Amino acid sequence: MIPVLLACLTACENTIKSEEIKPTDAIAGVSFVESVTAKAGQTVIPYQKYVLDNGLTLILHQDRSDPLVHVDMTYHVGSGREEIGKSGFAHFFEHMMFQGSENVADDEHFKIVTESGGTMNGTTNSDRTNYFQTVPANQLEKMLWLEADRMGFLVDAVTQEKFEIQRETVKNERGQSYENRPYGLLRERVSEAMYPLGHPYSWQTIGYIDDLNRVNVNDLKAFFLRWYGPNNATLTIGGDLNVDETLAMVNKYFGSIPRGPEVKMPIKPSFIIEADRYISMEDNVHLPLVYMSYPTVSVRHKDEAALDLLSSILGGGKTSLLYKNLVKNQLAVQASVSHPCAELACTFNMLALPHPASGKTLADMEKVIRDSLLEFETRGVEDDDLIKAKAEMEANFVFGLQSVAGKVSQLAANETFKGNPNYIEQDIARYANVTKADVMRVYKKYIKNKHGVIMSIVPKGQKALVAAQDNFTPAARVIPELAVTSDTDLRVRKAKDNFDRSLMPIAGANKAVDVPQMWRETFTNGIKVLATQSSETPTTSILIKIPAGHYFEDKDKAGTAALLAAMLNESTTKRSAEDMSKALQKLGASVGISASNSYLAININALTKHIDATLALVYEKLTAPAFLPNEFDRNKNNAIQGAINGKKNAGYLASNAYRQLLHADNIAATPSGGSEASLASIELSDIKALYQQQVKAKGSEIILVSDLDKSSVLKSLSIFKSLTGEGKALTLNLPESNAKRGVIYLVNKDNAAQSAIRIGKRSLTEDVTGEYYRAYLMNFPLGGAFNSRINLNLREDKGYTYGARSYFYGDKFSGTYTASAEVRADVTDKSIVEFVEEIKRYAEQGISDEELAFMRSAINQKDALKYETPSRKLGFLAQILEHDLTSDFVKERNDIVANISKAEINALAKKHLNLSEMLMVVVGDAKTLKPQLQALGYEVINYEI
């Protein structure tokens, strides 16, 4: 796919500013490398680069626009550095790095970051592992202390107990994301067939269960000691920072950590596929799938850019050949092309899922794909292909600069893989210089008459549907005899300090966070406008809300609003869907239309220089939809197939059953996307009727964040002043169902590796500063944060799940309280016991003093992160307009958090956490689960969706 690396044009030079950073005075142990500053005519992210004596690379980017910092620690190690028989280690360590270190107690890392008002996570891929936090600027030293402690003081804190629990958590993640998900094993099977035995990409980052079961805790420690030294890491910090102070803090906490073993760039193994390799598998899916994958180059190879462009021409949206030849004519429900790249290899991937009504097989899909390649040879590369791709890259780059996290992650990646944070302009040049001849050349070199892996996934029991009989079996993994790693084999490196690392730094006062300055306007036609100016990037983001959502439908025709949204994304009376898509792509603009419960939402992101042209196209979509019968049929049929396929997903089944059981026979009991039956009953006339009734001016809202001033914004929005009319007002009564409480409703999913659990009841409607908000505060330590009681119990203590939570959700018409998780099938009953005990204990005993302090600190220090990006500002403004608030509600909420008493929270817990008022939904293998659940003492009722 096209990366976020395209020319920013001159506007960025004026709107994305950082102070010109000068090399600081020398600090012992820290060497200055280079300083890059913003200059006219250049596309750069300003930074300073340093290297500590122990090899740690440090990159600093100063950005004073918001009082926050983003800290990224990237280690140049991923699954591609693992050995046969020891797969999944890099990802396993991503988990272990959050489990505490010598000076940070178990599960304290998440708590400290959350309590600081920040967010955090970690990710692992084949080539690198990164850990990152975004926090208020005053919390920077605390984050450096945390990162340094797990770099230099982790090994001795990795216990056998932690190892076993996280091993189970990783297994749960594999079950949830791979084995229990339709098509979830596709990439694993293709990689096994694509790469030679032992190639580091022949296994997935998650690894194999057998490998995880085979190794011991010392094997894991040895992996850490090999790869997680400072000389194999890049620390990148961006935001509202003081350079001299930051350098001193980094040197203090990281400077004494000893170097690890030397690390060389990995070798790129070469291989050739001499004949097409057909493989297949049966899966719990509704639709068969064919996937064709060809080896190409590696990341930032000179041919990568042209191959990316080729993938766009063949399968990038409504202007692509596969869309035209497979999706538009309803031969396929879905077809796409991608060209993902990694450090050692890239693949060119094409996939299609045939539409059942077409009568086409996977062999037919393969033939159409191959014929589309031949058509490309004849068609060639058109001027618009280059224009679209380059406009998209420009927009992606600019939008990537809207957050300090986006800028930091780009600096970190460029340093890790190129040794040069300032690689942006070289990347820009790679794409800007692609010619038509380049695209055709790479097609002939890497795709035409070349061989790859052709994977068929078919529903269970339908092996005859494969594209071709299997002709390839990957070589069996030969696991070498693995020596047992003992304590004496570990070469632990110890830092020597002149300060006490056990003392967590104390943060200074939070910097003041200003609520965005906003202005309002109401057009004479009734459209309300709420906007704010943000000059950090030359972009405009808009959310248009039209009262025409799911709740305006008849329950027997649920999905009408979703289909209306889909049709507004199709042809207009003035241009085809393909021409509309092409016009938007040439502007580098994105327009997405979707339906929520109450509204149609039009999300618009555009470069400000193209805002008028973009809004003209949006206006055309809204006022001149063609409502073509063939486009309606395609979208309706695809929606039906999506609803059928959703029944293969345990989470989808659980959510639908839960929704039905909590609501009486009304619109809220139906999924907003519709069911197979409701979608089948919808006619094009229903779509037109909802459009004519509800897509009107009065009651609609425009929320906008732009670098333009008010007068310029109003001039651009004036196109919408010609809209007229008022839709039907929404009057809605959503009574509760008569479903029994205190029982378990069991939905069968044969042989499910995991069970989906929902526990809950109808509850409060949304109230921004009332009891609904106070109930959110009450639930925060129970199930509203990573280190909540429920998640720590089921995930961190027991290893039953990848994640568990509880929450209140409401709108103006109804609300629910829900506890949920997907758990290992063999611990379904145990998980319910733990859920019930945690909820019951909290209702009876209430919040602790420590939890109350944690909740207050975590929520009231989040302000620095609330308004950083245009998307966050849009959400904030939309809330104000939806509930007719003033910005003073922020202060009112802060006061509630600061002053809510322990007694009030405990009273809310007793009121809202009465388990006798709740019902339970479990989706899993009924024949196994029913007797186990009955043994818990519950009435178990079989339930069908």
On whether both 421 and 340 belong to a single domain, the answer is: yes
Kindly state the average pLDDT of the residues 603-611: 96
| Helix, strand, coil distribution of the chain in percent, nearest 5 | 45, 20, 35
Over residues 740-764, the pLDDT tens digits come to: 999 999 999 998 889 999 999 999 9
Residue 487 burial (CB count, 10 A): 9
Cα–Cα distance between 410 and 120 in angstroms, integer?
17
Do 286 and 459 meet the contact criterion of CB atoms below 8 Å apart?
Answer: yes
On whether both 144 and 248 belong to a single domain, the answer is: yes
Token pair 């009304």 in the structure block, residue = 666
Cα–Cα distance between 909 and 775 in angstroms, integer?
8
Whether residue 453 is contained in a domain is answered as yes
On whether both 129 and 66 belong to a single domain, the answer is: yes
9 pLDDT more than 50 = no
18 pLDDT more than 70 = no
On whether both 239 and 329 belong to a single domain, the answer is: no
Q: Is 733 exposed, middle or buried (0-12, 13-18, 19+ CB in 10 A)?
A: exposed
Q: Which residues pair with 601 in a beta bridge?
A: 545, 594
Structure confidence at residue 12 (pLDDT): 36
Whether residue 567 is contained in a domain is answered as yes
On whether both 260 and 281 belong to a single domain, the answer is: no
What is the CATH number for 533? Answer: 3.30.830.10
On whether both 748 and 836 belong to a single domain, the answer is: yes
Kindly state the average pLDDT of the residues 26-41: 86
Of 264, 296, 329, which one is at a domain's C-terminal end? 264
What is the DSSP annotation of 690-738? HHHHH--SBT-EEEEEESS-HHHHHHHHGGGGG---BPPP------B--
| 577-587 vs 383-400: helix crossing angle, rounded to 10 | 50
Average pLDDT, the chain: 92
Whether residue 729 is contained in a domain is answered as no
On whether both 788 and 703 belong to a single domain, the answer is: no
Structure confidence at residue 426 (pLDDT): 85
CA angle, 459 then 463 then 465, to 5°: 80
Over residues 324-368, the pLDDT tens digits come to: 999 999 999 999 999 999 999 999 999 999 999 999 999 999 999
Whether residue 900 is contained in a domain is answered as yes
On whether both 755 and 863 belong to a single domain, the answer is: yes
- Better pLDDT: 100 or 560: 560
Over residues 121-163, the pLDDT tens digits come to: 999 999 999 999 999 999 999 999 999 999 999 888 888 888 8
5 pLDDT more than 60 = no
Please, which residues have CB within 8 angstroms of residue 807's CB and are 6 or more apart in sequence?
776, 779, 783, 784, 817, 818
User: Which residue range is the domain that position 292 belongs to?
Assistant: 277-399+415-465
Whether residue 536 is contained in a domain is answered as yes
User: Using 50, 70 and 90 to split pLDDT, how confident is the model at 66?
Assistant: confident
Structure confidence at residue 24 (pLDDT): 54
Cα–Cα distance between 577 and 566 in angstroms, integer?
11
Closest CA to 277 of 387, 189, 208, 163: 189
List the structure tokens of 208: 């194999």
Closest CA to 881 of 695, 703, 724: 703
Q: Is 477 exposed, middle or buried (0-12, 13-18, 19+ CB in 10 A)?
A: middle
Over residues 795-832, the pLDDT tens digits come to: 989 989 999 999 999 999 999 999 999 999 999 999 99
Structure confidence at residue 27 (pLDDT): 84
On whether both 641 and 528 belong to a single domain, the answer is: yes
Closest CA to 73 of 274, 236, 230: 236
Q: Spell out the long-range contacts of 902-905 with Cβ–Cβ below 8 A and sequence spacing 24 or more.
A: 902/846, 902/847, 902/849, 902/852, 904/774, 905/774, 905/777, 905/778, 905/846, 905/847, 905/852
Whether residue 732 is contained in a domain is answered as no
On whether both 688 and 550 belong to a single domain, the answer is: yes
For 779, the enclosing helix (H) or strand (E) is: helix 771-783
Name the least confident of 200-204, 277-281, 480-484, 892-896. Answer: 480-484
Over residues 684-703, the pLDDT tens digits come to: 999 999 999 999 999 999 99
How far from 889 is each of 21, 531, 590, 905, CA to CA, in Å? 38, 17, 32, 20
Structure confidence at residue 181 (pLDDT): 86
Over residues 261-313, the pLDDT tens digits come to: 999 988 888 899 999 999 999 998 999 999 999 999 999 999 999 999 999 99
How many domains are contained in the chain?
A: 4
Cα–Cα distance between 243 and 633 in angstroms, integer?
60
- Better pLDDT: 194 or 316: 194
Whether residue 508 is contained in a domain is answered as no
Kindly state the average pLDDT of the residues 233-255: 96
Kindly state the average pLDDT of the residues 555-583: 96
Structure confidence at residue 112 (pLDDT): 93
List the structure tokens of 882: 């939806």
Kindly state the average pLDDT of the residues 765-792: 96
What is the DSSP annotation of 798-810? T--EEEEEEEEEE
Closest CA to 61 of 29, 99, 19: 19
Over residues 495-550, the pLDDT tens digits come to: 889 899 999 999 888 887 788 899 999 999 999 999 999 988 899 999 999 999 99
Structure confidence at residue 8 (pLDDT): 34
Structure confidence at residue 7 (pLDDT): 31
867 pLDDT more than 90 = no
For 353, the enclosing helix (H) or strand (E) is: strand 347-354
DSSP tag of 175 = I
Cα–Cα distance between 202 and 194 in angstroms, integer?
7
On whether both 456 and 564 belong to a single domain, the answer is: no
On whether both 693 and 751 belong to a single domain, the answer is: no
Whether residue 389 is contained in a domain is answered as yes
Structure confidence at residue 25 (pLDDT): 57
Of 196, 229, 264, which one is at a domain's C-terminal end? 264
Cα–Cα distance between 214 and 85 in angstroms, integer?
8
Kindly state the average pLDDT of the residues 389-417: 89
Structure confidence at residue 395 (pLDDT): 86
